[in-house]
Amino acid sequence: MSIADGGPRSADVEALEDSQLLLVPREQVQDVCARVPAAARALASSVAGTLRRLTEATGDLVFLDLPRRLAKVLLNQPRDGNGIISPYLTQEQLAHQAAGTRQSVNAVMRGFERRGWIAVNGRSVAVRQPDALSRFSGT
């Protein structure tokens, strides 16, 4: 967002492993957008997509309880052909995405597993009945 409006960053990040970063100054991005309309459209589309995702997440926090938020989080994760969520996410990471605690996410996941909607095998989670999770979450 800083590229678009020149304001301060709205978030910070922390690398989990050694990384190489590329800094592209705002002025260079603006120059490219001025010269290449497709780049300006791509930037606007990216900002709009982020705003849309944040608006939906805010609505979920207001209108959905934790089990329904967790169902949406599970459905939005990439899965392999067997429904296994990959890459693996810890319950702490799932709790962060669903705006809950690890303990409450654990309880909700046990309920989903009892219903047969998911299968937990060690550290992996497989979505077995995505349609049931989708109906439950209202998506």
Burial of 61-84, coded b for 16+ CB within 10 Å and e otherwise, reads eeebebbbbbbbbbbebebeeeeb
Helix (H) or strand (E) holding 30: helix 26-35
**Interval 4-19: pLDDT, tens:** 788 887 778 888 889 9
Query: How much of the chain, in percent, has pLDDT values that exceed 70?
Result: 100
Domain range spanning residue 51?
26-63
7 belongs to a structural domain: no
Question: Helix (H, G, I), strand (E, B), or coil: what is residue 125?
Answer: strand
Residue 126 has pLDDT above 90, yes or no: yes
Q: Give pLDDT, residue 16.
A: 81
C-alpha 134/C-alpha 67 separation (Å) is 12
Whether the predicted model's global pTM rises above the 0.75 cut: no
Residue 60 has pLDDT above 80, yes or no: no
Domain count for the chain: 2
14 belongs to a structural domain: no
